[in-house]
Amino acid sequence: MISADPAQLMNEIIDRIQQINLLTIRITQGDNFFSSLPSLRLPQFQHPELGMLKLVSWLYAFYQELGKPNIDFIKERFELYLGENNSRKNHVKTVLRLRTLFQHNLDPMSQSDNSTQEICELWFKDVCGSSYPEDDQQWSLCLVGLLRDTKNFLVDVHKCIQAIDADEARVEILRQWAFRRKQYHPQHEFDRVIQIVASDLGRDINPKKFSNRYL
| Residues constituting the chain | 215
Q: How far apart are CA 15 and CA 60, in angstroms?
A: 19
For 55, what's the count of Cα atoms within 13 Å in the CB-facing half-sphere? Answer: 30
Tell me, what's the pLDDT at 1?
Answer: 44
Q: What angle do CA 176, 180, 185 make, to 5 degrees?
A: 170
Residue 2: CB partners within 8 Å, gap ≥ 6? 137, 140, 141, 144
For 57-96, what is each residue's pLDDT tens digit? 999 999 998 999 999 999 999 999 998 666 788 999 999 9
**Whole-structure pTM value:** 0.83
Q: How far apart are CA 32 and CA 144, in angstroms?
A: 28
DSSP structure string for 170-202: HHHHHHHHHHHHHH---HHHHHHHHHHHHHHTT
- Asked if 21 and 33 touch (Cβ cutoff 8 Å), the reply is yes
Give me the mean pLDDT over the 159-181 stretch: 96
pLDDT band at 202 (very low <50, low <70, confident <90, very high): confident
Tell me, what's the pLDDT at 195?
Answer: 78
Mean pLDDT value across the chain: 90
The interaxial angle of helices 68-75 and 170-183, nearest 10 deg, is: 140
**Does the pLDDT at position 37 exceed 50?**
yes
